[in-house]
A and B are shown apart, each in its own frame.
Chain A
Amino acid sequence: MKLNTNSNAYTITYAAVVVVIVAFLLAFAYAGLKERSDSNERIDKKQQILAALNIRNVDKVQTEDKYKEVVMTDAIVNAKGDILKQGAQKDQDGFKVDRKSMSSECLPLYVCKVGNETKYVIPMVGKGLWGSIWGFVALNADGQTIYGAYFSHESETAGLGSLIKDEPFQKEFQGKKAYLNGTPALKVVKSGTVKDANTECDGITGATLTSNGVNDMIHEYLKNYQAYLASLNK
């Protein structure tokens, strides 16, 4: 007997079977690979934090050790400047807060020691042209000047907006003033229109919307962390 592949019953059964098989395959693949990909993600996040501290190209195997050596605590603060969690275990409190759950009531803060100097790394997240963008910005012990920065993105245009992920763009932030007269001052401006080299960084030619996204993101998070960072000098 030859099966009638055009009958309604066959079509519906076929569709159902295919969907179930695919669903199982996906579920198995996800569950089986979850542990490995989670650990990769953890290492990647640690590498990003280290990159903000200008410690780049750390080998995967050495990342965990280097992170433990440099990062002292991963506290959680809020926008009023209160410390909510101390984060003594280095990757159990602030580190576990993912990008989507950051809010003015839950702001991770990494206190780090590079050489003998204390640095503060603040994470940030914002919107680029196509998807989300995020970054880590390291500030000096005074909480006012930028020590280093790292940015990355989900799906910005390759070769244009995606350049925020590269070192040349991130290097521009080093040594800039984050705050002036008590308000966030750091800006990303249209490429070639920097007027005040103390606070302004060149945007990326041809990627105005991504550059604006970085600018807005920095402004928002500098505002969030302002109360805490200002209290460092008292």
Chain B
Amino acid sequence: MTTTPVPGTDTAPDLERRLGEVVAVIQELAALRFDARATVGAAGDIVDAVAAGVNALGEELAASYEEIERRVADRTAELAIATQELRRRALHDDLTGLANRTAFWDRLAHRLERADRRGAAFAVLFLDLDDFKAVNDTLGHAAGDQLLVEVARRIRGELRAGDTAARVGGDEFVVLLDDVASGDVALAVARRVGERLCAPYELGTHRVTTTSSIGVAVGRHGLQTPDAIVAAADAAMYDAKRSGRGACVLHGAGRTGEATSVGVAAPEASPG
């Protein structure tokens, strides 16, 4: 490994051999094999200087390469987190954390595509709070927001893993029941959600009660698109509104539907 030529006494073949070794190391470094090192002799002559310089450059090259790889890994991880956050924001309602309109329509479209292959039906609930405006006007937007967050939490608590709840407007929520045996079963779920939403809400120092009107539309009844199904549930929700506070209506032939009032008998919004 160590050579000890006397400076200035190298023969041409010796010099060529020593320089050849340095050239070989340069080629190794160029191929990103950074552990290559040239022999640095005891003479400390110009060839040793070149060899030591190439070795030192190789070390710096390896360090720079490692630093770049580390930065790329860091940036890639940051990008993945940012992408995940962007995706979450793009598909979720900021206030409640539920799915947003885009995500809901996507999932409903996907469910429609699978409808032909699956025997089970699915249903959409369209839910509107009856007293949200009163709460918002009386207690302020912060209380209104707090109410929406709690409503979302309660709706989510009544659903199964495959179901999807979304907030699609100020106080409008939609739910996709992924697998229901019949309209009656979907209506029973709607009724259960409605009952849960009737329970009092603690908004700061105020206790508030509110009802909700819920329309139900079952898939595979001539409703071929997400828009058509949601529109049917929306129409049933308006039928429920007309039927009185806190009602659930199943969209059906002739839009006569079925109006059923949930457990609490038309409680008033009673802020404070």
Same complex for A and B? Answer no
